[in-house]
Amino acid sequence: MKTVVYSTTTAWNVGDDYIRAGVELLVDEALGETPSVMLHDRNPRMSGQHFTAPNATANRMFDGIGLRGVDLIVIAGTPDWGKSNAELYRKAAELNIPIWFIGIGGVSDAHLAEHVVACPEAVRALERAEVVIARDDLARLYAQRFASVDVRVLPCPAMLAGLRYGLLGGNKRGEAIITSDARAVMHCAMNDYTSGACSADLVCHSTFERDILANRGYKVFTHYDPSELLRFVARHKVVRSGRLHGAISALGCGCDVSILDGCDERIVRGFGVASEYSCDIDGLKNEYMAIINERHTQKAGD
């Protein structure tokens, strides 16, 4: 049985759990098995603030002991694929562990210049990587500067979370509003909720927004188990979201989804890319698998 390390965050913002769910679906199929899994916490600062217990497997990896016997490291989405993983990249290179980047995104030129271009460990990891798939053109542009394989752009793998959890299909009814702690989006969400969407269910992705709304007396739905949170969202016919991963994971479950007013351009752009695949989730998975299998086979033969 192989052992896979996923670099991710968990339990405080469910969007990262959705990304990992989609990535795990792809990796399991590529490996032809369900591997042993460990999580590398790439954002321990958030863990310390928001986990009831820190991820026990994460910090041991920095001495290299936790990486002994690991067959693959997967950087599972989000913009944190640069210097926050520097020590992980360095140890992976020392032990010659393959790295796959799946679903990486870009915030801005300045962010990528600081976190990727200026980080020698990240540059070396891209040079070594077997698979590099970005979720937007900005990330593809920066990754391709160093990657030895062609970098393709596909919608964020969070769109495959419903497929991973077995949530496609089923009868849908009612409306859900997925909130965001961004002030403008939260304002729009609550205006929609109080001025005509009173029957809608409010859903929180992060501990931040749950605290904000609970303090204002609103009843919200959240869940420590990401599959149960998405199961709740997926049973709604209409979903309006202030979060990209909330929107695209609901799209992947067959909901009628729109973005709330006030969302920044990056969210609008990412939702637009994902919308092109809303009627063909299996087709999206197959596109991912075609790239992964091609790159994986190519590297194995080198």
- What's the CA dihedral at 9, 10, 15, 20 to 10 degrees? 80
Q: Is residue 302 part of a domain?
A: no
Q: Are residues 134 and 171 in the same domain?
A: no
Residue 261: the pLDDT is 85
Same domain, 121 and 184: no
Q: Answer yes or no: is 191 within a domain.
A: yes
pLDDT at 21: 96
Into how many domains does the chain fold? 2
User: Are 126 and 37 found together in one domain?
Assistant: yes
Residues 83 and 100 in one domain: yes
Q: Are residues 126 and 172 in the same domain?
A: no
User: Could you give the count of Cα atoms lying within 13 Å of 43 in the half-sphere of its Cβ?
Assistant: 18
Residues 31, 34: Cα–Cα separation, whole Å: 8
- Regarding whether 171 and 138 lie in a shared domain, the answer is no
In sequence order, the β-bridge partners of residue 99 are 73
Tens-level pLDDT at each residue, the chain (302 residues): 899 999 988 777 888 999 999 999 999 999 999 999 988 877 655 544 433 333 444 445 555 557 888 999 999 987 788 988 998 999 999 999 999 999 998 888 998 999 999 999 999 999 999 999 999 899 999 999 999 999 999 999 999 999 999 998 888 999 999 988 787 788 878 877 776 656 789 998 887 788 888 888 888 898 889 999 999 999 999 999 999 999 999 999 999 999 988 888 878 888 888 888 888 999 999 999 999 999 776 665 55
Range of the domain at 272: 162-276
Same domain (yes/no): 136, 177: no
Query: How is residue 38 written in tokens?
Result: 């460990």
The string of DSSP letters for the chain reads --EEEEEE--SSBHHHHHHHHHHHHHHHHHHTS--EEEEEES-HHHHHHH-SS--TTTGGGGGSGGGTT--EEEEEEES--SGGGHHHHHHHHHHT--EEEEEE----HHHHIIIIIT-HHHHHHHHH-SEEEESSHHHHHHHHTT-SS--EE---GGGGHHHHHT--SS---SEEEE--SSHHHHHHHHHHHHTT-TTSEEE-SBHHHHHHHHHTT---B--SSHHHHHHHHHT-SEEEESSHHHHHHHHHTT-EEEEPTT--HHHHHHHHHHHTTTT-HHHHHHHHHHHHHHHHHHHHH-
Q: Are residues 148 and 208 in the same domain?
A: no
- As a whole number of Å, the CA-based R_g of the chain is 19
- The answer to the question of residue 119 being in a domain is yes
For residue 207, what is the domain's CATH number?
Answer: 3.40.50
- Find the CATH number of the domain harbouring 36: 3.40.50.2300
Q: Are residues 260 and 292 in the same domain?
A: no
Domain check: are 108 and 210 in the same one? no
Residues 259, 131 within the same domain? no
* b/e per residue 168-192 (b: at least 16 CB within 10 A): eeeeeeebbbbbbbbeebbebbbeb
Q: pTM for the complete prediction?
A: 0.90
Judge whether 113 lies within some domain.
yes
Q: Is 195 within the bounds of a domain?
A: yes
Residues 7 and 95 grouped into a single domain: yes
